[in-house]
Structure 1
Amino acid sequence: MIQLTATPTSALADEPVHIRATGLSPSQVVTFEASLEDEKGNLFHSRAYYRANEAGEVDLEHASALGGDYVGVHPMGLFWSLKPEKILTRLVKRDVMNSPFKVQLKLYDSNILITALFMAAPKASLTVERWYMAPGVTRIQVREGRIRGALFLPPGEGPFPGVIDLFGGRGGLTEFRSSLLASHGFVSFALAYFNYEDLPPFMEKTDLEYFEEAVNFLLKQPKVLGPGIGIVSICKGAEIGLSMAIHLEQVTATVLINGPNFVLSCPHVYHEQVIQPLPPLPHLLSTTDLGFVEFYHLVGDPLDEANQPFLFPVEKAQGHFLFIVGEGDKSLNSKVYAVQATEQLGGHGKNNWTLLSYPGAGHLIEPPYAPLCCASKMGNIPFYLHWGGDVALHAVAQEHSWKEIQIFLRKHLIPNATSQL
């Protein structure tokens, strides 16, 4: 009897699943298919072909895919290779509390014509649930003073390390990373800073006092360990995270994912200090053959002497940095920016940084097993932005960096912490 198993069938979205098929004929070729529907009704699917061993089994932890959406041994390939039916649609979990993503897994006999393959009934099927909040995690809507966001508390009395989670230029409130961080023992504050509720719809300036209020709010929470907090940030959020680390002494551990080491587009203001953006180049944008817009060449080389005054004084930060860059990032020249920042730190005798650089990874480095989005629309921008990345290499970067982020935060936010996950 043919059986398809997945262990566990219900787990956090960043946890691996062991998929296995048994009861097949020796050397039988079969097709594994995965599919899910997001909260907006968009469909995503993936498939891969495998040959059973002499015992009539296919174990995705050991078996090599012969083709399909990936090749080789990739136990979670069916998840990270999911592709949208509606091209250039990004898979984003919006409601992290009440429902999981439900991934349908199906097993087909491949010994029939490909055109007829998916008209046939599957030999076996099951549903895997991918949750974004562990049992016992609490979500609290935050509307205190000027600050807006969502606070996620792990179960238990604590105290736990506290983290502010910042996303990029789309604005609004994105919660899936914060809810997963809380599921792994962090008090995580998903902070909105424009285009949300009564916040400004667009950013005309970055008011660092707003982010200082958020830091102080987080440190007042009874479950937060203190005395410092961490930041996990990407893109525009990483620009702000770097500025916070420089200006706010309470920030002691900062994760910067594919961000610049200077101000983009609108000035940063902190009390009487104004930090001006690096001037854009005359041609501003570049476009791929497919019409995707890239910000990769938006600004000049930060290594140019004329641009030096616009770089963040990263050497003034007292905390530690984890720079994470995708070498296939087509939105920002993020590796150049991170290398320049680390050289600037080293030039001032600082060794308070780690740089993780991933070949083939794109701009949108997320928690593991999320599929690559190579291009998508953002907010009210009327064109598609090119994020870059190779599907399989991007998946490797996400899985490795997510573990390293948690190790880094624990090391610098918990006294005498071990680096155990």
Structure 2
Amino acid sequence: MAFLSRAKITSRVLSSFNITEQEFSTSSAKKLGRLSVDKDLSLADELIHLEISGLSPEQKITLHSSVSSGTSAILESFGHYVADHNGYISLAKHQSVGGDYHGIEPMGPLSFMKPSILNKRKHHRFMMKDPTKPFQINFRVFEDFIHSLDDTLAQNRFEIDPDLSISRTYVAPGVVEIPVWDGKVRATLYLPPGKGPFPGVVSMSGGYPGAMKYKAALLASHGFAALALKYFGEDDLSDDFFNVKIEYVEEAVRFMMNNSAVDDKNGVGVVANCYGATIALAAASVLPEGLIRCVACINGWSFPSGQLTYKGECLSPKFKPILLTSLSSDGIRRWNYCYAISGKRLDKIQSLSLNFFERHDISYLFVAGEDDGYVPAKLLSSVTTDILESVGHPDYEVVSYEGAGHLIEHQYYPLARVAWTFGEAHLNGGKQPFHSSAQNDSWPRILNFLSDKLETHVG
């Protein structure tokens, strides 16, 4: 039965956009050159080509970029460039010789943004709570090299009109947003344009109340019917972060399978990070065959510390990892789970894990950041590989990224090395340029994984 006949919902079709070329001439004596971009409105994970012309030969400039997130916090970056003999700079061809990023980084102004020192509160993470609203990136060109945004020269940077403004969005033309309040399921569904049916994906986040809807919206923009599933902290859901009944996930998966817009012949995929990934692995361990086809797990625990149950049975192993936390002098919470499992025999390690590895009908992609501030991702990746190899699992991939942190998001998403979680600043980890490179590699890998396992072709 199609869900449209069962659930009390409303929907809205998001407006379309045209891709055009823009050129903006500078209007301030403090700015120079002419910036041009090939797309004035683009998806949040889409490559753009930025050029600066009209400079003097070998002229030194600072390129400043900024964005205001959904919390009104500012993120910004700056890079140093030297014009060629024609007074021209292409970010795809010319290297940044200083600033927040170095070398040839076509998307450096976006990927390497950091919270502005002008924000009232430190450690803001870039997050668009309403992914249907485009966000604006502003670019400014300054003469010579600005070596720090603390410099007097840079203090009035936001009082100067941008040389170029572009918009980014999480929703492609025609994507439909549908609030879902069906049975116990609390979520937001995003459907691509067209009649469908579309491959179905459930998206789950970690320790953030509600759902981070932007990932589901972006998945829909790439051709998936994507459900941003809440599991705690909003609506009538429990505030208990760690204790989850997997029946709730099953109900959400069946909701998708019963949706006429979803292609249900192969089951659905799940994309999840942090504790959401642990919940996804628990669901993969126990749900009936044919519901979940594949799971993309981003920096998740395969050895949960919470209370996960299914039909009254506890899925969490008796082994409990040791939680180590400390509060630094700068007010940042540093914490980690100590598993101390590296010396245990493989059969003992398996007994500590969820039983997802027994499901040979489900494909797995594990993405891990080796500088994760929460979990020993490198160790867990190694153990996960050993487990899957030992049982002869036919279809899995484990990808571990040096220098990448906990919050591995889509391409060109700014690193949040520190972010607010549970009301305090937590160390998520990650170092540039490693984290940016990990996102550039892992996000297309996730899209291809979902497309391949759900046997469809998406954009």
TM-score range, shorter chain: over 0.9
- Between the aligned partners of 2:234 and 2:317, the Cα distance in structure 1 is 24
Check conservation: 2:62, 2:146, Cα contact below 8 A.
no
Q: Which residue of 2 aligns with 1:115?
A: 152
Q: Which residue of 2 aligns with 1:385?
A: 426
Check conservation: 2:203, 2:216, Cα contact below 8 A.
yes
443, 446, 451: which one pairs with 1:402?
Answer: 443
Q: For residues 211 and 398 of structure 1, do their structure 2 counterparts lie closer, same or farther at Cα, with a shift above 3 Å needed? A: same
- Between the aligned partners of 1:392 and 1:185, the Cα distance in structure 2 is 30
Q: Which residue of 1 aligns with 2:139?
A: 105
Q: Which residue of 1 aligns with 2:101?
A: 70
In the TM superposition, 1:45-64 aligns within 5 A as 45-64=76-95
Asked if 1:238 is matched to 2:277, the reply is yes
Q: Which residue of 2 aligns with 1:137?
A: 175
Q: Which amino acid aligns with 1:256?
A: C
Q: Which residue of 2 aligns with 1:247?
A: 286
Asked if 1:176 is matched to 2:214, the reply is yes
Q: Which residue of 2 aligns with 1:9?
A: 40
Deviation of the 1:277 alpha carbon: 4.8
Q: Which amino acid aligns with 1:158?
A: G
Check conservation: 1:284, 1:299, Cα contact below 8 A.
no
Asked if 1:300 is matched to 2:300, the reply is no
Check conservation: 1:261, 1:338, Cα contact below 8 A.
no
Deviation of the 1:349 alpha carbon: 1.5
Cα deviation digits, residues 27-60 of structure 1 (max 9, x gap): 0001111011223221111111100001110000
- Between the aligned partners of 2:316 and 2:327, the Cα distance in structure 1 is 27
Aligned residues: 414
Structure 2 residue runs of 5 or longer lacking an equivalent are 1-24, 26-32
- Between the aligned partners of 2:319 and 2:325, the Cα distance in structure 1 is 13
Deviation of the 1:302 alpha carbon: 6.5
241, 244, 264: which one pairs with 1:206?
Answer: 244
89, 92, 115: which one pairs with 2:127?
Answer: 92
Q: For residues 368 and 20 of structure 1, do their structure 2 counterparts lie closer, same or farther at Cα, with a shift above 3 Å needed? A: same
120-129 or 332-341, which deviates more:
120-129
Q: For residues 117 and 143 of structure 1, do their structure 2 counterparts lie closer, same or farther at Cα, with a shift above 3 Å needed? A: closer
SS in 2 for 1:269: strand
Q: For residues 55 and 278 of structure 1, do their structure 2 counterparts lie closer, same or farther at Cα, with a shift above 3 Å needed? A: farther
Q: Which amino acid aligns with 1:343?
A: D
| Identity across matched positions, percent | 32
TM-score normalized with structure 2 length: 0.85
- Between the aligned partners of 1:301 and 1:62, the Cα distance in structure 2 is 47
TM-score normalized with structure 1 length: 0.92
Asked if 1:358 is matched to 2:394, the reply is no
Q: For residues 169 and 40 of structure 1, do their structure 2 counterparts lie closer, same or farther at Cα, with a shift above 3 Å needed? A: closer
Provide the aligned C-alpha RMSD in A.
2.2
20, 42, 57: which one pairs with 2:51?
Answer: 20
87-96 or 175-184, which deviates more:
87-96
- Between the aligned partners of 2:68 and 2:162, the Cα distance in structure 1 is 20
Asked if 1:374 is matched to 2:414, the reply is no
Check conservation: 1:246, 1:313, Cα contact below 8 A.
yes
Q: For residues 221 and 58 of structure 1, do their structure 2 counterparts lie closer, same or farther at Cα, with a shift above 3 Å needed? A: same
Deviation of the 1:401 alpha carbon: 0.7
Deviation of the 1:294 alpha carbon: 3.1
Deviation of the 1:7 alpha carbon: 1.6
Structure 1 residue runs of 5 or longer lacking an equivalent are none
